[in-house]
Amino acid sequence: MAHPAQDDRQNNCQGGCLCGAVRYRVAGPLRPVIACHCSQCRRATGHYMAATAAAHAHISIEGADNLTWFDSSPTARRGFCRLCGSNLFWEGKDLPYISITAGSLDSPTGLKLDRHIYVADKGDYYEIADGVPQSQAFEGYDPTPPQG
């Protein structure tokens, strides 16, 4: 799917929070970015959530004692830095991957926005007009990252 140069970069991806207390490294492929416009993501992020994802086995976290998890629904939790408040992760119960906020990645990411989801729940103060496919829920789109 991706060309080799992109794969190389995505196999050595790093990121972290605004203050630097929480850093992470991904030693495996990343999923393209999905923008979620659901009301939970909008409240948690202040706008909408743009996230890539990686298999659990491929992500390692430094400063995890500064990472706080909030149970945002019965089936998911969100991870943020307890010092600076940066939103870093979304983790669905029983899913084999962890979603990572695209804005927390170090540049260049080599990633592209691939999908807008929960578009019916978007805020009324913006339009989605970038030509990227839109759907409510996933509708046939598999959000699981490559397992590498």
- Assess 83 for contact with Zn ion (CB under 5 A): yes
Query: What letter would DSSP give residue 143?
Result: -
Q: How far is the CB of 44 from Zn ion (least distance, A)?
A: 8
- What binding mask, one character per residue, do residues 24-63 give for Zn ion by CB under 5 A, x or -? ------------x-x--x----------------------
Strand 87-92 vs strand 76-81: parallel, antiparallel, or unpaired? antiparallel
> Is the peptide bond prior to 146 cis by the omega test (within 30 degrees of 0)?
no
The minimum distance between CB 45 and Zn ion, in angstroms, equals 9
**Token pair in block for residue 8:** 């190389």
CB of 137 to Zn ion, least distance (A): 10
Give me 58's structure tokens. Answer: 């491929």
Residues 109-148 that bind Zn ion (CB under 5 A): none
Of the pair 55, 117, the CB lying nearest Zn ion is at 117
3-state secondary structure of 112: coil
* 81 versus 111: smaller Cβ distance to Zn ion: 81
Helices marked H in the chain: 4-10, 39-45
Shortest reach from residue 2's CB to Zn ion, in Å: 25
Nearer to Zn ion, 28 or 51 (CB): 51
Q: Are 141 and 135 in contact (CB under 8 A)?
A: yes
Sort residue 63 into left (φ over 0), alpha (ψ -120 to 50) or beta: left
- Please report, as ranges, the residues that interact with Zn ion according to CB under 5 A: 17, 19, 21, 36, 38, 41, 81, 83-84
